[in-house]
A and B are shown apart, each in its own frame.
Chain A
């Protein structure tokens, strides 16, 4: 079992550009959550996808959007990148509202 996989591992973008991050959940999991972890801080919840719908959303602007595909994989899109979007983006998968979540290794996004 490959666990939760995220791609790419590192990414550098210019302010104002758009970025797409990808996540494949652990086998058997149908729920994907995304978190933003700024340097030196704890992860902050962005949103959660279940059955291809956004089920919950944290306090993030509409520039942050997502998608879940029929195979349960997910994408996080960020438009009009700001310097403050530089962070580690973590994906976590679980089964429905289960309390056992597995995290990927994250995508390090740097906005210059």
Chain B
């Protein structure tokens, strides 16, 4: 069975500071993908960043970057220069190729002015 764990139910960060959200996962597959999704109060899931498991290089999208530790099955998200608009629920998700998303329970991030 595939599982995704997010151990931080809530986090807060000051505007312009850096914050790291943690995620661990478990899968027996070798071909899989990892994602971070943002869900603001509007409810729509918005893709923040994705990582292919076969790539060793950590993915980066502007202020968002990941630390992918495949052996440890860890996939953390770093948000630099936090902005008020980053306030949202963040979900870590695992996708085994050809299957469905498995989501973690989420981390509620508040960016404080």
What residues of chain A have their CB less than 8 Å away from a CB belonging to chain B? 33, 35, 40-45, 48, 56, 58, 88, 90, 92, 97, 99, 101, 103-106, 108
A108 to B43 alpha-carbon distance, docked (Å): 10
Which residues of A have CB within 8 Å of B62? none
Verify B100–A90 contact, CB threshold 8 A: no
B85-105 CB contact bits vs A (8 Å, 1 = yes)? 000000100010111111111
Are B104 and A42 interface neighbours, CB within 8 A? yes
Rounded to whole Å, the gap between the CB of A51 and the closest CB of chain B is 15
Residue of A with least CB distance to B6? A42
Chain A, residue nearest B100 (CB): A45
Query: A99-B33, A99-B50 are known contacts. Are A45 and B44 too (CB-CB below 8 A)?
Result: no
Q: How many angstroms between the C-alpha atoms of A44 and B4 in the bound complex?
A: 12
Q: Residue among B4, B42, B45, B91 with the most chain A CB within 10 A?
A: B45
Per the bound structure, the CA–CA distance linking A97 and B44 in Å amounts to: 21
Q: A42-B106, A90-B45 are in contact. List 12 more A-B contacts (CB 8 A).
A: A35-B101, A35-B103, A41-B106, A43-B101, A43-B103, A48-B100, A56-B99, A58-B100, A92-B45, A97-B98, A99-B33, A108-B43
- Residues of chain B lying within 8 A (CB to CB) of residue A48: 100
Say whether B95 contacts A99, CB under 8 Å: yes
Contacts of B44 in A (CB 8 A): 103-106
Chain A residues with CB under 8 Å of B45's CB are 43, 90, 92, 103
CA gap between A74 and B84 in the complex, in Å: 36
Flag if B91 contacts A42 (CB, 8 Å).
yes
Check A41–B105 contact: CB distance below 8 A. yes
Residues in chain A near residue B101, CB distance under 8 A: 33, 35, 43, 45, 92, 101
Q: Which residues of A contact B37 (CB under 8 A)?
A: 103
